[in-house]
Structure 1
Amino acid sequence: MKFKSISIIFLLFFSATAFSQIGKRFPSEKKIIKDPVTGVDLIFLTTKSAGDSKTYPTHPQWTADGEWLIFRTKRANGDAVAVNEKSGVMVQVTEGGYSGTLCMAQKTMKLYYMRKSEENTMQIIEVNLENVFKDSQAGKMKAVAAYERVCGTTPSEMGASGDMALDANEDRVYFRIGREEAAKHLDPNVKLEKNYGPRNMGAGPGGIGSMNIKTGELKHVVSVPFQVGHIQSNIWNPGELVFCWETGGKSPQRTWTVMADGTGLRPLYPESDYEWVTHEAVISKDEVAMAIMGHRKIDIQKETPVEVTESTEVRNPQNPGQESNWGNSGTREKPTGLAIVNLRTREMIIAGQTKRGSGLWHVHGSSDGRWAVGDDFSRSLYLIDRKTNEMIMLTTGHKQTAADHVHPTFNRDGTKIQIQSAMLSEDNRTLNICIVNVPKEWLKRK
């Protein structure tokens, strides 16, 4: 009996020692390379092939102090890692895995994410990054419980998933709920949408729930008759959300907005059948950037849309979501480009568009209204001066075979852009975390 007790104690100690990896440090890989075409400095914060990728551009990338970027990687066995932009040193900031989106607070040094728990429940986890970084530097890490707090747990019937966003007040998170839970709150007279497009996605119902991260209180926000995706908060305006009708490609009505109390549900940008709207991102208190795609050739021989059938589907492995049978949308027969919509006036402007090629695809903008940025199918990155409409290419050559796209995101000051790049990849696919500064001569403009 005594031997058994000792064995259990040893096993518990060994397990805690073996898996207590939060705070683990990785040496700097930082390297500055000049773009071979534009000559712009590319500040690579990671350079090894370790399965790195940035948080989706709908969310902040930098911590509240502006010194660390948190990213997804395989170098920490599926946990998240932060890299110090100045020193290049990396620190593991989660332990035991996470689900979905990493949400970095902008008022405090906190990180929020979902983690799968028992019986299909989800825990909302808060990490005290300040203490993690301090103890990691001192080499005196404590048990993971000293750094993380369980804000609350969602019941299994809620079907919560990790598509999550943090409110501007940083007292509540919003997340996607399951179809059964969404149906409970939807008017039975509302017609449910069916799957749309060759990917057979988009069917409803869908919805958004919330949790008070101080009390654990759960609330229902909204239910809609279609599949919900890309939930993001307006981090400048408390209680305001933007989300999409997710189909894996074009949607009949992609962009939506709603308030946290369920009021104000409406299309953010009412789109026409011929428009292919995608990759919306809240960029300031009043504005959302999005791409109106102009990537497809005009077929002047056809007067009717291409019939969407699974049998005619042609996959595009490098640029997924661009299968041939989405219909006749996404051509330049109508205006396309990097669109910016005002949440208050509902007015839309086109900030810019490439003259040829796929056109701008993943887009973002600085919160001060000075700059907009976008990538295209070639993985090139373009910067736009919103005052003069001038557009320049910042960098190219990031390999069209990359595992994912460039996904540009501005920092809070609007002085630099984070991207993910396969430029250094030996297998032509693996991504690294990279920073591109807005040119000094542009920053000097008034």
Structure 2
Amino acid sequence: MRLPLFTAVAAVALAATAAHASDVGRRFPPEKTSIVDRTTGVPLTVLTSGRYKDGKNYPTHPQWAHDGIHIIFPSGDRDKDGTPEAFAVNEITGDIVQLTDGPGVGTGSLNVARRSNKLYYMRRNGEAGRTQLIEVDLTPLLADSAAGKMRGQGYERIVATLPEDHIEAGGFTLDADEKTAYVGFDARRAPPRQPGQPVPQVPGGLRAIDLATGAVRTVIETPFRMGHVQANPFVPGEILYCNETGGDAPQRMWIVKADGTGNRPVFKEGPTDWVTHEQFADADHVIFNLMGHKRDLRKAATGILVVSLRDDTVEHLGQIPIKDFKRTELANFTDPNIPQDDTSTGGYWHNGVTYDGRWAAGDDFDGNVWLIDRKNNKRTLLTTGHRMRPNHTHPSFSPDGTRILIQSGMLSGGKNLGLMVVPVAPVAD
């Protein structure tokens, strides 16, 4: 049937509108500015102002895109519809570009590829929908956005559709060779976590996804809640994960091979050890925090440690001194498992590391970020006053080890987080 001319023109216009209705490629004016830390004198580069509910990727995952220029980050309310989406900020110009659009984007676990300029994320299509692994080609997306000539489609590829019963837990990760993704799952729906209570435990496990074919298989099943899934960035087929309790687990860190063999604990814990915030330090080591935030824990060694995956030997990177906290200070914390009483002593909370073995970093309960020289264990205060609300600073080094990315509630008074870059150079020199 042949349409009348005006109907055909209207149909073409409607199709064009629909094709370009997505906010992918939408640009935001730079929010980049510079401030100076009033305590240390270190210059800080502010990339996002704290106006929006921005954040950084979790420290277990890369922050910088393969192009070395863009930092990929999630935001809860930059999208016009108010849905959580992924964005990129140009570290040089400050320009911000929206990378995803629509409901169901899993911004809690964005995977920035190390070997290609791509981004991977999970999208769930409604409560009854299936979870899909999506690949985003950043190079043409960012180029077209800069040129103001976005295509209606072609930037994303559906890699795989997960089983109908898939319940993601612990996030997902890319293997070192970027041929496989690994994702944590719950075997059944867990009850909601109650305020001040541990994360409810249900059986879980790991699944592997072939990035070329989309084939999905089970790697391992566990009797506990899966958390912090991360693949070794240097050794293909080696996955670190944890027993996620939201607090102190009897044995937190575990490692397994991609075929399900070799499953074993990492750093076998004693009765007073409170292990948390593990991540790979290089091909053969894991850095983590042995919490010292309560006086009873300080009766033994606590602080940032590095454990060998090959012979279990441990390197101790130190701890900061005990502090007596006031209740007004404790009210700034965000973790319900941290006791707000006179047993609180502070200490390191999270950590970062460079893969060359030179630097480590740690944040503390005051919102300070410390640099640690692993050659001599010298500790230097880098930057201060980053309110640990509405989340922690989570320091992460740039790939070349010259800068640290943090998220800070400083500029918003703890209402929202802004992204800031802290140079290592003033201390390293």
TM-score by length of 1: 0.84
CA distance in 2, matches of 1:259, 1:125: 24
CA distance in 2, matches of 1:413, 1:163: 26
* Counterpart selection for 1:33 from 31, 35, 47: 35
CA shift digits 1:138-173 (9 cap, x unpaired): 111101x31000011012123345711011111111
* Counterpart selection for 2:132 from 115, 123, 126: 123
* Counterpart selection for 1:231 from 192, 213, 229: 229
CA distance in 2, matches of 1:434, 1:283: 22
Aligned positions of 1:40-79 closer than 5 A = 40-73=42-75, 74-76=77-79, 77=82, 78-79=84-85
- Asked if the contact 1:122–1:161 (Cα under 8 Å) also holds between the matched residues in 2, the reply is no
TM-score by length of 2: 0.87
Amino acid at match of 1:75: R
CA distance in 1, matches of 2:426, 2:309: 31
Amino acid at match of 1:41: P
- Asked if the contact 2:110–2:120 (Cα under 8 Å) also holds between the matched residues in 1, the reply is yes
* Counterpart selection for 1:271 from 269, 272, 277: 269
Q: Does 1:419 find its partner at 2:376?
A: no
**What is the CA-CA distance between 1:204 and the residue it aligns to?**
3.0
**What is the CA-CA distance between 1:116 and the residue it aligns to?**
0.6
Q: Does 1:207 find its partner at 2:209?
A: no
Unaligned residue ranges in structure 2 (runs of 5+):
324-345
- Asked if the contact 1:196–1:203 (Cα under 8 Å) also holds between the matched residues in 2, the reply is no
- CA RMSD for the aligned pairs? 2.3
- Asked if the contact 2:209–2:215 (Cα under 8 Å) also holds between the matched residues in 1, the reply is yes
Amino acid at match of 2:65: T
Q: Which residue of 2 aligns with 1:403?
A: 390
- Asked if the contact 1:197–1:247 (Cα under 8 Å) also holds between the matched residues in 2, the reply is no
Amino acid at match of 1:141: M
Q: Does 1:365 find its partner at 2:353?
A: yes
How many residues align structurally? Answer: 394
CA shift digits 1:9-56 (9 cap, x unpaired): 7766544433x1111111111111110111111111111411110010
> Percent of counterpart pairs with the same letter?
42
Q: Which residue of 1 aligns with 2:182?
A: 174
**What is the CA-CA distance between 1:120 and the residue it aligns to?**
3.2
Q: Which residue of 1 aligns with 2:289?
A: 291
* Counterpart selection for 1:151 from 147, 159, 168: 159
CA shift digits 1:283-305 (9 cap, x unpaired): 2111211100111123xxxxxxx
Amino acid at match of 1:411: S
Q: Which residue of 1 aligns with 2:341?
A: none
Distance 1:370 1:344, change over 3 A: same
CA distance in 2, matches of 1:88, 1:39: 23
CA distance in 2, matches of 1:218, 1:436: 40
CA distance in 2, matches of 1:105, 1:151: 14
- Asked if the contact 2:186–2:226 (Cα under 8 Å) also holds between the matched residues in 1, the reply is no
CA shift digits 1:374-408 (9 cap, x unpaired): 101111000100111100110111124x2000001
Q: Which residue of 2 aligns with 1:430?
A: 416
Q: Which residue of 2 aligns with 1:308?
A: none
Amino acid at match of 1:55: N
CA distance in 2, matches of 1:88, 1:295: 37
Amino acid at match of 2:395: P
Q: Which residue of 2 aligns with 1:309?
A: none
Q: Which residue of 2 aligns with 1:91?
A: 97
CA distance in 2, matches of 1:210, 1:242: 13
Amino acid at match of 1:373: A
**What is the CA-CA distance between 1:242 and the residue it aligns to?**
0.7
Amino acid at match of 1:134: A
* Counterpart selection for 1:101 from 109, 112, 130: 109
**What is the CA-CA distance between 1:337 and the residue it aligns to?**
0.3
Q: 3-state DSSP class of the match of 1:151? A: strand
Distance 1:21 1:198, change over 3 A: closer
Distance 1:211 1:80, change over 3 A: same
Aligned positions of 1:277-426 closer than 5 A = 277-298=275-296, 331-357=297-323, 358-400=346-388, 402-425=389-412
**What is the CA-CA distance between 1:178 and the residue it aligns to?**
2.7
CA distance in 1, matches of 2:174, 2:415: 31
CA distance in 1, matches of 2:40, 2:93: 26
Q: 3-state DSSP class of the match of 1:53? A: coil
CA distance in 1, matches of 2:184, 2:67: 29
CA distance in 1, matches of 2:183, 2:242: 13
Q: 3-state DSSP class of the match of 1:158? A: coil
CA shift digits 1:191-248 (9 cap, x unpaired): xxxx999624252311010111110011111111110111011111111111110111
